[in-house]
Structure 1
């Protein structure tokens, strides 16, 4: 198909349907670029992560810091005992909640299933128009496989629009795409350079040229289930109107490459196969994955699109859907990705996710009462535990491991004072039962997803948690130092 240059090859578009007067290609491109960067914060500035914390949050954190410092100065030991006790309660709460989600996710009806026959039941003329957005930047090594994966999608060509989102100055990837051949349904949409240079900004720009009734995103290295679009369209057609998004499962095609990819595969197996369906069953906000989520296009006009300043833009959008009273369904259809085999590359990726989770929690806690009234008390606690608790607990793990090591090596008196019996034994329960139950959950996830060969990764998963803690500390630091910086993940490293 023809390349889309500044909107000249595609008319209309989701975000441009209400633009009014007929525009030239250059005018449409300029408006699309402005909207892709500023659209959400102009529509609702409190929903944008362009500012890390708002004024009242800053004052609240300042007061908390003053109280903490005063406590450490005036009553050091009681303050440390209180902190260790509260932290232990958080650990216990996170453990119990994780086991509850797993139990719900194990139910047979926890995830929506559409078999091949039912996926093909809907005649081609009845299928909705679909737009697939594929953002890529400086990834010439995977572009050929990407186009092949897109070409394998089972959907009528006249109903399918695939936009390959490439930055205008990323000539190496543009050349690779043109050399590989764009096929029947794939088009290049050049994204004008502008800060922030993030995936959500590119997707927002593309919405102005999208023509589908349903919009989905695939990453450059993705290998989606060929019937996934038909399955998602079936689920969205059959479920209630308040279900506006379908999240497919993600897994890895190179799980056995090395120890890190095995840990990563086990991690994803637990999250997408059991915990996300458990969240769906509990009607809690679902932090979407960065790919293979399928949206009813009309929702973007109502709640805004992705936040270009949030580095986990889909997790943020998933929470925003829940905050507006909408629901997300989890679909039993798998997209295969490449697991990071390089530890440094993995830490870069995971630190961005942790930073984005904290960004998302801070953004949605700007109106805590409104969110609480919409999603309820239990979902509010679960949202906090997932989005804020996950990175914070990962950071605290490093501290508590060092405390445990120092106690084993020398038993300093200060640790005995900070952990009296009523704190020590619950903390010990967290250490033993928490680690054992998490490893058990990982075993179950690997067995049920056909990855039983990775049993050795389940046994050594505590080493993976050390990497998680390093990534969480890095992400928390970056939230303060460089909140909207998007650390690029290198792809094409699988053997």
Structure 2
């Protein structure tokens, strides 16, 4: 999305104009109504989150075995400034349990990225995995590289992995079996769960971010997405380990090269074209950003991409339907609203209590507002606890108490994302990666065989 449509501009102008006029005539009433409407919105969001927790407990997606001839599978991995981690990725891709004569793999490397290209070409690779140079072009983003090699793909099915990924070796077989055996002829994509492991504990702040990040992923991939899938609703795809029918992907136009969360956009675009999404059980393991200096740019990119996705899919509601609109609002809209307002809400609550104490008054903030905050926090904790148990990641009482600090950091990333959307809308903030210990590979292979 390069700009707002005429209708979007009109809506923005009408809303801002009405809000400004209301403030001029009835400021107190207007602010009260806005606060109540916002609180009701978050109350509905919290209630829906609890519904997803309940629905997602119906674990009907047990691993299945392939019962038909296996299709040709294409694996794409877009790499940029990944010279240190390329050998590790190649080892992990080579360990995938799938007939080699039915595999096509491509490591996509930008033409100017000589270190990564040298590392990829010098590392031992299976015959089916080739190095492909992506020609210069704009924007320099992961989806542009993927689109370049979508034209070269010869498989029936296609999946995307990131440089730091460690996919379960049986993931391709499960996806192929699901596509083959699914009674839903409109099934276009399957999302594997992403699970965060943290083999590097380098500092106190890193450990805090690692644990919170792991629970955030667990809540999303073990609760929210399964719940939406079982309700027959669309969802934003993860940036990796999504498995596509390649003919459908081509017909949909591939990935949006200008969207920095191209996966979120593509999930809703497939839905609008009449296709359905599903989930898998065999996971892909990843490591989290190492510290705040790495976490903040990554989260900024995600929120900026969510803003782009929201803008694109609200230009017209045609094709979304009620289910699509609810899913878009809950996942994309809800994430943006929560990130933008959480720190403000916490600051408001603390300021209310402190001012009351300093004035010698009992600290009694508005009951309804506090009730909404409590319910929202409880719903997030419940989703995180259930997801963490399924993913096998720790989530202690201390982690729960500290989580509002993590959520408040989202507001910092949100403010940064708004600024970046204005000045650098298509710039891709690259997250640095480093090789994992050998013991991490062993742990992930073992963990990937568990059914939780």
Q: Take 1:182 and 1:494, find their aligned partners in 2: how far apart are those partners?
A: 19
Q: 1:186: Cα distance to partner?
A: 1.1
Deviations 1:104-133 (A, max 9, x none): 111122xx2225xx24x54xxx21111100
Give the root-mean-square deviation of aligned CA atoms.
Answer: 2.0
Once residues 76 and 255 of structure 2 are traced to their aligned partners in structure 1, the CA distance between those partners, rounded to angstroms, is 13
What is aligned with 2:246? 297
Cα 1:192/1:454, change in 2 over 3 Å:
farther
Counterpart check, 1:371 vs 2:314? no
CA offset at residue 202 of structure 1? 0.2
In structure 2, the gaps of 5 or more residues are 202-206, 358-363, 438-452
5+ residue gaps, structure 1: 1-48, 413-419
Q: Does 1:151 align with 2:102?
A: no
**Secondary structure at 2:319's aligned position in 1?**
helix
What does 1:10-21 correspond to in 2, within 5 Å?
A: none
* Aligned counterpart for 1:136 among listed residues 57, 76, 79: 79
Deviates more, 1:446-455 or 1:275-284: 446-455
- Residue 48 of structure 2: which of 97, 103, 106 is its match? 97
Aligned to 2:59: 108
Partner of 2:282, secondary structure, is: strand
Query: CA shift at 1:275, angstroms?
Result: 1.0
CA distance in 1, matches of 2:6, 2:421: 17
Asked whether 1:234 is paired with 2:185, we answer no
Query: Are 1:440 and 2:440 an aligned pair?
Result: no
User: 1:66 and 2:31 equivalent?
Assistant: no
* 3-state SS of paired residue (1:169): coil
Question: CA distance change for structure 1 residues 173 and 256 in 2, over 3 Å: closer, same or farther?
Answer: closer
What secondary structure, in the 3-state scheme, does the structure 2 residue paired with 1:333 have?
coil
Which shifted more, 312-321 or 56-65?
56-65
Partner in structure 2 of residue 267 of structure 1:
216
Superposed CA offset, 1:229-251 (max 9, x none): 11100000111210011111101
Q: Cα–Cα, structure 1 residues 494 and 259, in superposed 2: closer, same or farther, change >3 Å?
A: farther
Contact 2:84 2:435 in 1 (8 A): no
Could you tell me how far 1:58 is from its partner in structure 2? 1.5
Counterpart selection for 1:342 from 291, 299, 320: 291
Partners of 1:77 and 1:206 in 2: CA distance? 57
**Secondary structure in 2 matching 1:332:** coil
- Alpha-carbon deviations, 1:389-409, whole Å to 9, x = none? 211221111222222122122
Q: After the TM superposition, which of the residue ranges 466-475 and 240-249 deviates more from structure 2?
A: 466-475
8 Å Cα contact 2:234/2:271 also seen in 1 = yes
From 310, 321, 324, give the equivalent of 1:361.
Answer: 310
Distance 1:71 1:481 in 2: 31
CA contact (8 A) 1:254 1:494 kept: no
Deviations along 1:422-442, one digit per CA (max 9) or x if unpaired, are xx3221111222213322332
Partner of 2:421: 479
Structure 1 residue 74: deviation in Å?
Answer: 2.2
Q: How does 1:75-94 map to 2 (within 5 A)?
A: 75-94=26-45
1:446 and 1:455 in contact (8 A); partners too? no
Residue of structure 2 equivalent to 1:460: 402
1:255/1:262 contact within 8 Å kept: no
Question: TM-score when scaled to structure 1?
Answer: 0.82
Cα deviations across residues 52-75 of structure 1 (Å, max 9, x unaligned)?
A: 322221222122112222222222
1:182-197 → structure 2 map (5 Å cutoff): 182-197=125-140
Tell me, yes or no, if the aligned pair for 1:255 and 1:265 is still in contact at 8 Å: no
CA contact (8 A) 1:254 1:339 kept: yes
Aligned residues: 426
Residue in 2 that maps onto 1:394: 339
- Per the normalisation by structure 2, the TM-score is 0.90
Deviation at 1:454, TM superposition (A): 5.1
Residue in 2 that maps onto 1:203: 146
